[in-house]
Structure 1
Amino acid sequence: MARNIGGVVADFDDVWRSRRGDLEPIGHLLRYRAGDTWVRFHTLPGAKRFPRNDAERRTVFSRHRAVLSELCSVTATSPQDLRVMTSGWSSSPEPAGRSTRLVAAFGESAYWRSLLVDDDTDHQWWQHIYIGTSTLGSPRLRALLRLVADDRAGDVVITSTGAEWLYHPYDGGGDVIAPTQAIRDGLRDKFFRWLPPNAEGL
């Protein structure tokens, strides 16, 4: 990597706090805080959840890449310098590592922060978030998105260096948190064939 990953994390922490405030970067919860800037796209025809062959995996990746490329284009942010959040989980607030398969697929990342995501009377569960860098065309990003598509990695969030937009890929699609409602609407219009068929947009 061109820069020390620790410095990347420190810079990103400043950016996140400035632009996103106290928003918790938990992928599957982002849409609840996004209001009218959220839109979801499906990554396979017919709202199919999981790819079953190489052709379907290519479709999944091409849709992720198309949405990410458009986000970079309409916000004048660089597809060559993305920030990628991945996570590990544990019952302790002490930072826990990520899964072996995730590390093997995506590689180097540095610890950023831990969030309490489940606090019932008998058990606590913490999410430990790591920051890595990638380009849009990187094989490691493709490998990560394949894990997500196969439901072997969760709560991945991809964004720009300035956190102008957020993209949460999940098994079956991707949630966009756009900078503005107008940009959200433009994405809906461009990729309307990939929109969920139900009224809730899910």
Structure 2
Amino acid sequence: MPGHCRKCGAKLKEKGEFCPNCGEKNPAPRKKLINKYTILIIIAIVIIAIAASIFLVGNQTQTVTVDGVKFEIPSSYVNDPSRTDISYDGNVKSSAMGWSNDENYIEIGITRTPGSGINSKEVASQVGGSPTKMFGYDGYYQKYDEESYSFVFGMKDKVCMIYVSDYDAFSDVKVIEEDS
């Protein structure tokens, strides 16, 4: 809509630069607030925000503790309460906890002898498997029927076993530290 002249009130022509009645210069037509570039910029910002949130959510981790040993696993894994196990027969204490997500299962077990201590590296070697270094520890890797895998290693007076349903799930586990 062309509007009216500020000075004399005459009706302005749509593309005229000056008022046809008094000659007053017409103000420049208002630009649209949204043009095609603004829309593209908004779309790009939304895409970047979505990608960043997927990256941040996908890379979140949780710290889990099994018998005093801390591990880090992705937050997509949820605790499987049916696999939480603690047994104590007076000589040996064994704890195991499991987590699963849509693709994999991880179980972490810790065995120890309270008080007297054990040679955890020797016990880990008796479990069998191929000598391997994983998670910064020397231990023993085992493959079960092409379907699951474990790594057993000694940590001070404890024997740790990390069992996974798929070999790639080993990369989902990080050994953080042992509580003092």
TM-score by length of 1: 0.22
Greater relative contact order (CA < 8 Å, ≥ 6 in sequence): 1
- Greater helix proportion: 1
Q: Which has the larger radius of gyration?
A: 2
Greater share of strand residues, 1 or 2?
2
Using structure 2 for the length normalisation, give the TM-score.
0.24
